[in-house]
Amino acid sequence: MKTGGSVRGTTVVWGDWGLRMKDHDRRVSAKQLKLGEDTIRAKLRGTHFKLYTRVSANIGVYTKGNEVRMGKGKGKFDYWAARVPVSNIIFELKGNMHEQVAMEAFRLAGNKLPGTYEFVRRGDAPVVGITKLKNGVTLQSLREARRPVESKDDPQEQDVISTRIVPENPSSISTTTAIA
């Protein structure tokens, strides 16, 4: 699973607020996604809002019993799941409500889902891996090397270390260093 190098899916697109996964990538089951969605809807009952689910459970998970011998097929279908990369938005919310109400609904939903989550607003900085792209940090600066890269092809600067065993005493090893 890709966990860095892309900002796709890390910002709020359709709504005003969002719930973003904060720690490493996880597999979230369809039941867990439904439970998070139901929690948000229950908290916001009576208000006018639109909830967007940005991930879908499209991966089938198959299991085999314990102490079953190797082979004999894949196992039987168990549940649907979604792979959620780090820093991806799970839910977005749009509506005429106070930001604290949306924050509380997302906090409750995040407690029911596996992993840790953060509340984000429309216009917040995108994220690559766990690094937020703000204050001069760009995608290009993350791709550049952080220390000088030494060339392995330049024979002038390489040290050649040769090791030889002295014939009269096989247990002693002498090392000579020569610059080519």
CA R_g for the chain: 27
What is the model's pLDDT at position 156?
A: 57
C-alpha to C-alpha distance for 88 and 7, rounded to whole angstroms: 9
Q: What is the pLDDT of residue 3?
A: 44
pLDDT of amino acid 163: 47
Architecture of domain 17-126: Alpha-Beta Complex (3.90)
| Mean pLDDT of each 10-residue bin along the chain, 180 residues long | 66 94 90 96 94 95 89 90 92 94 96 94 84 75 69 58 51 51
pLDDT at 122: 92
Q: What number of CA atoms fall less than 13 Å from residue 10's CA on the CB side?
A: 21
HEC letters along 55-121: CCCCEEEEECCCCCCCCCCCCEEEEEEEEECCCCEEEEEEECCCHHHHHHHHHHHHHHCCCCEEEEE
Residue 2, pLDDT score: 47
